[in-house]
Structure 1
């Protein structure tokens, strides 16, 4: 009996990577559970206009919680970098990446503009702790510094790739429900 030969499978030099904030995801889930608990209580036990005001408030607040905690992500692919921030999605071909930095926040410079990388939070405390632990800085790095270094290496490796320009798309799936919720809150407040 022979074993399957995996050598015929195409070997990609680079697998897609996704950078997200575990603390952001955890806090988002907890905030959504809290909103469901408090909002559900107000909707089912409230009287008068309270249920309607609560539903309008939830329509406004829940997309914001999702936008700032669960939505941010950075995907580094073979051909491009995709940055999903709370209100925008930025697609950057590797050839357009000018620089990636992590000072007080993580930043991407591409196409003459600067974009924040919300899903790679910089922790100065973790950076100082990593510096204290290791004498060799290359061996011990803060998580944000490691992620930025990986993205920087990928940008340098694929710098000659040309995939067009930077594409920015607004997140209407977040902005529309928030806008509708605000309008409903104003209308309910005026009619009150």
Structure 2
């Protein structure tokens, strides 16, 4: 019996037909991880760019408005209309708009408040339409589900209790006079 095991082990040791499998097993997970993380990062970048574009176009409409004060829902709909790659944009987007004075500069604050699936009926945050020639800050926070939530890149991003990740964009503008 021992002689058969030695003979089989000797034949297995001389055979090199499976040597590329070992190399594949070592290298393939690294390339797969790089590919998956590059796809995830590409989608994060695409969502962020589309949110920035939607916010810029909505701010342009508000800034060059026809004299009517824009509503929260109108701005939100305009942003989501231009942010075409985000699923359920109107449910996952939260806006904050506040006027500020150049002589007494006040920003929106440090903590960004976004939507949360676990909380029902969140009220609208500070949303004050500005007057003519007034400096305004508009902050948009968009939550989304990562493509690969269990992979390293998605796990390193700050997520809420339901696993959604936030993208934040800000814009400052001056209301044009009529």
TM-score (norm 1): 0.26
Larger radius of gyration: 2
TM-score (norm 2): 0.28
